[in-house]
Structure 1
């Protein structure tokens, strides 16, 4: 689709939407606050919904919420939910100009979750996330493929590297509770999602595009943050113990997963410990077993929260992940061992001195190690190869926010330091010759950034938000080889640069059901340590060895995003076209005459900057409550990338894909049934120069269901890939097939 056709489509869609009934009617709002019954403190991230509709809002850090486009009813009933509190309702009689200063007090109760996956979705208050979570009952990384505008590259059966609108890897920021995680594998077989079990999460926050400046910012193309569970406190001065245990089985891997969560809470202390283990053999495609795809992963998380005083809280967290003998069918090597240790400290305060409404301090540190070898592969009979990678990341954030009658202002600092090293050892059996080389030569990168964001409400309909971020990034390599220096013909590869991000968002609550948000943003992404200093690192997308270049320029993106959101009593529709114009896009350029060093590599490329490129597309999401307790849900995503220098498609752009289904929930929520289909169009807009091949389209069907037995036990089961279709995803490496027909069962017990 050309840019001219894209904007014609955008204008046509906008005109059609604007003509729908109710577009020019007057809107009402409900403004209020959710508080703790005992402490009278605001409760953050509570979910406030209008009963019988899809309309609602999540509370901010101080418990405030705004619900726009309230239905024209004489009585409105609000339903308020938050993990660790009893569900509450509040009836409001019709007010001509809306409701102001509505206050709802929640009473703490035992931590009892009907379905941890659904709770995560409810906390997000996003229908599309609810649908994706129900379609992934084990909370695996495949959930990313069911979200509009989001895709994923399978690094193994349990590790999925996120892609946002065609932006990937270092172009987007992926964090765990705001913690920067740097993969230790030279081929990025251990993205941040490898160290997260989705069943542990409290929420998932997704920013699509360079429209966030706080913390690490949104980078070039967006940000995903996986938020773990938070401490729960009690209303009365008594000790309360809770627990959740679950087990599941999947036939396609003959694998099982077990998880256990224990909680302890008092009025001032809240602690949670969770353990999960996921094991599977080589999975089955519809045609045969996929070799070297077995896995074993374990996660152990602990979090302690302490209420120091009113409006003051400390949180200490330790997350650890271990894996052994994880196979990569797309690679000539497997993971022998990987370890991740994450440590976090948070201090949160509200209503502080100097009229600070919210103050936040975070400090974190993590170590990741990753060992790969080919000892289980036939090639090891001729040459053994082992690659050891290690990263160490330390960082922190500090931010303060002020709120006024119609404005809010936030300022903060973000710093981080990354150390990365990777070594390759080879042994040739026939000669006994050993060879060792540094693929990442003890690289250190430091960043210090300051950010500010201002928001202003002109009235109940119009709001503007503007933010900027200035970052200074320094990098150096302590162990550069003479070969690397000679190749680039310089003696010093240390460098520093200053990058500036900025965005502005204009939001309009149209009348009465529409919200429109126009976002303009500029994102800058400095080259990563692999792109600057890598030495013959294999890229499994095109099977080339890559050499870094310290002189790479930072990638830049100027983005436009228009979000049109329609929300009535029974229907929720979001249409979101976007356009990205990229400068100095980082890619690989073939260098003839150089011999590869990695097994299976077909040549050598050096990282370089393109002049310009573009990525444009549209995301659509629909959620419609039908009669007879039925819900229709559907989303689709389309993206097109163009290399404007070569006049050719950009590589690794996902094809048009869709998730559509019908769900029935019985009265009283005793059981539910769901049928769904996931489909992707044939991807023939490819980049042959990058080693990309066409991918056939596919359509797969799934059946799912669940039943609640009393207040403590829930059972789920289903059939995935019902017709046993043979297919593969375009972004996955080497055309590795996806799993065939899979039967699964899952049980969760609360005690």
Structure 2
């Protein structure tokens, strides 16, 4: 019997994927402008972050993810929005950078993990939907996003470089340069990025407090003594500042330092197909104040949290039989968060103050994931995970000060996939995930009565959140037609919800909830050069404990596009249509924000064009929000009073935006 299609087979020694060459720059420059990445395999979306796209090329991780069906972004200013997938935000969505976990420091989510992601520094972005894997840490009930690099496979010595330049409205300018060198035995690579923008204007011409400036340097040195072995030392450094339209402070430092060591060995024996190990350290030093990027409305204040994350992972892949492969391993993570702050005349010397530890986390986990081909057309994938999680409250003056909370977290899934025909795959999976409360949920102050949040009560002890979810779907690709649909239904027990008490305080509580929805994409090639496509995303949420709508659920969204590409000239148009959201629960939400009321629907038109004058050079241009529409996303944060700016109900999206980008490959 014939083996199943490639999209259905995942028996590792497709493990060699870790050593496979990424898409080369010249290949990227031959691609049509990317508008909406489609599902490539069951519950999996893979996209190239350096390929040109519409709307304007992304400057951070959340900005890139919002173009994948099912994602939305909570806007706070010009950068550092929080990604939301299927209505689930923050710790429910795992974000890994080259297999490493990074967590922000700000207690008000100025710096979510994607704030430290510069998409063009990576070779591939992979989205794994739902609790349908156990390999990437605990609590990822919504899914996992992997930002990944891959060194090239070389035959002899070579040196390459590629880069891009972007200019756009509101003073936007980006620069990216990537260079690498190596042969069969060693390699080195380095990537530098810089992104800058002034305050943008909404469709009504109102300026939004949103300027930012960000830079990063990422590098790696690797040894490959043979084609089956790799030892890599990696590093990263980044910083910047950003203005926020949704609060009384701005981010004046986003200093991240990273170092990691990774080892991989393939084809060790007929049984042991792969052995890998990884350790890393991520340190984030974040500063926010109310005077550097704006005129202070009262007393000057500064807050300087930091977070050190150390982690590691060891895993082995065993080929148990020609039809069965097992990946099993252990991982760990430690998290230490501290804070120092000052006000009035003391702000000038805040960096000399001692840091006060406020919370510590420790997690150890074991996991196993098995892939078994039942026959040529069907396979089963299943996994189980067990984690031991401990949180320690190191704050002073709280009812829980000095106490620890220990949780044992369980996760597992089973998925069936079937090739009904060479062109069609269907699947169904049932998954369960448990998530302990995170830093932001544990640090709420339910009895605070002033802006200093001096209350002693604490939300440190919360029940772990438990999600059980059914995912089903289909993928079809035949000739000019390609499409996919994925549907989910989830029950959330002890779902952690955030409630706004007053202008200065929120608390956290456990509820029961239900969510369900779908994502779909469909494309059709009209001859050699033309292509049309459409996507749809919808999610519905219910608070089962109160009978009210579940908060912070994005409305129905559809995108329709058409494009032309003859490999020299390209052009495209995009229509994004979002329904108004009438289902809300005012004052309730997540650690990022709470519902503030209904929102209106909107439709946005964007255009793009590209020209390839020669191999290795691509120039693209576009206009986003062509008709200069004034609009805001339902889940975006409330506009704050900022001196010199007009306060709006929500932080509005940018008005008409022009951009021009050049991609250049040198080798």
Q: Normalised by the size of structure 1, how large is the TM-score?
A: 0.78
Give 5+ residue unaligned stretches, structure 1: 1-26, 33-55, 67-80, 86-109, 592-600
Structure 1 residue 341 displacement after superposition: 1.2
Give 5+ residue unaligned stretches, structure 2: 589-594, 639-649
Q: In 1, are the aligned partners of 2:122 and 2:147 still within 8 Å (CA)? A: yes
Residue in 1 aligned with 2:230?
A: 313
Change (3 A) 1:381 1:721: closer
Is 1:139 the counterpart of 2:58? The answer is: yes
Say which SS state the counterpart of residue 69 (structure 2) adopts.
Answer: coil
Q: Which has the higher helix share?
A: 1
Structure 1 residue 722 displacement after superposition: 0.8
Structure 1 residue 471 displacement after superposition: 0.1
- What is the distance in 2 between the residues matched to 1:608 and 1:121? 36
Q: In 2, are the aligned partners of 1:233 and 1:265 still within 8 Å (CA)? A: no
Is 1:714 the counterpart of 2:634? The answer is: no
Say which SS state the counterpart of residue 631 (structure 1) adopts.
Answer: strand
Q: In 1, are the aligned partners of 2:96 and 2:102 still within 8 Å (CA)? A: yes
Match of 1:154 among 75, 78, 82: 75
Is 1:351 the counterpart of 2:263? The answer is: no
Structure 1 residue 453 displacement after superposition: 1.3
Change (3 A) 1:84 1:571: closer
Is 1:287 the counterpart of 2:214? The answer is: no
- What is the distance in 2 between the residues matched to 1:377 and 1:300? 24
- What is the distance in 2 between the residues matched to 1:737 and 1:500? 40
Residue in 1 aligned with 2:116?
A: 195
Q: Which moved more, 1:128-137 or 1:186-195?
A: 128-137
Structure 1 residue 212 displacement after superposition: 1.0
Larger relative contact order (C-alpha < 8 A, sep ≥ 6)? 2
Q: In 2, are the aligned partners of 1:211 and 1:218 still within 8 Å (CA)? A: no
Larger radius of gyration: 1
Deviations 1:473-513 (CA, angstroms, capped at 9, x unpaired) = 011123x222x12xxxx665212110110110011111353
Structure 1 residue 184 displacement after superposition: 0.8
**Length, aligned pairs only:** 633
Residue in 1 aligned with 2:369?
A: 453
Residue in 1 aligned with 2:343?
A: 426
Q: In 1, are the aligned partners of 2:48 and 2:124 still within 8 Å (CA)? A: no
Deviations 1:420-471 (CA, angstroms, capped at 9, x unpaired) = 1233433399xxxx9x999985211000000011121111111111100000
Is 1:658 the counterpart of 2:558? The answer is: yes
- What is the distance in 2 between the residues matched to 1:121 and 1:684? 29
Change (3 A) 1:121 1:521: closer
Deviations 1:562-613 (CA, angstroms, capped at 9, x unpaired) = 112222121111111111100111123466xxxxxxxxx6153321211x10
- C-alpha root-mean-square deviation of aligned residues, in Å? 3.3
- What is the distance in 1 between the residues matched to 2:206 and 2:613? 36
Residue in 1 aligned with 2:633?
A: 729
- What is the distance in 2 between the residues matched to 1:621 and 1:537? 47
Residue in 2 aligned with 1:680?
A: 578
Change (3 A) 1:357 1:649: same
- What is the distance in 1 between the residues matched to 2:168 and 2:368? 48
Match of 2:507 among 601, 606, 624: 606
- What is the distance in 1 between the residues matched to 2:455 and 2:8? 49
Say which SS state the counterpart of residue 674 (structure 1) adopts.
Answer: strand
Mapping 1:205-604, distance limit 5 Å: 205-217=126-138, 219-228=140-149, 230-236=150-156, 238=157, 240-251=158-169, 253-324=170-241, 326-353=242-269, 355-376=271-292, 380-403=296-319, 404-427=321-344, 441-478=357-394, 480-482=395-397, 484-485=398-399, 492-535=402-445, 548-589=458-499, 602-604=503-505
Residue in 2 aligned with 1:638?
A: 538
Change (3 A) 1:545 1:190: farther
Q: Normalised by the size of structure 2, how large is the TM-score?
A: 0.88
Deviations 1:158-209 (CA, angstroms, capped at 9, x unpaired) = 3232211111101221111111111111111111211111122211111221
Deviations 1:329-364 (CA, angstroms, capped at 9, x unpaired) = 111111111101122211111111472111111111
Is 1:702 the counterpart of 2:606? The answer is: yes
- What is the distance in 1 between the residues matched to 2:354 and 2:635? 29
Change (3 A) 1:272 1:537: farther
Residue in 2 aligned with 1:748?
A: 663
- What is the distance in 2 between the residues matched to 1:650 and 1:189? 24
Residue in 1 aligned with 2:642?
A: none
- What is the distance in 1 between the residues matched to 2:217 and 2:377? 46
- What is the distance in 2 between the residues matched to 1:451 and 1:512? 32
- What is the distance in 2 between the residues matched to 1:706 and 1:644? 50
Say which SS state the counterpart of residue 688 (structure 1) adopts.
Answer: coil
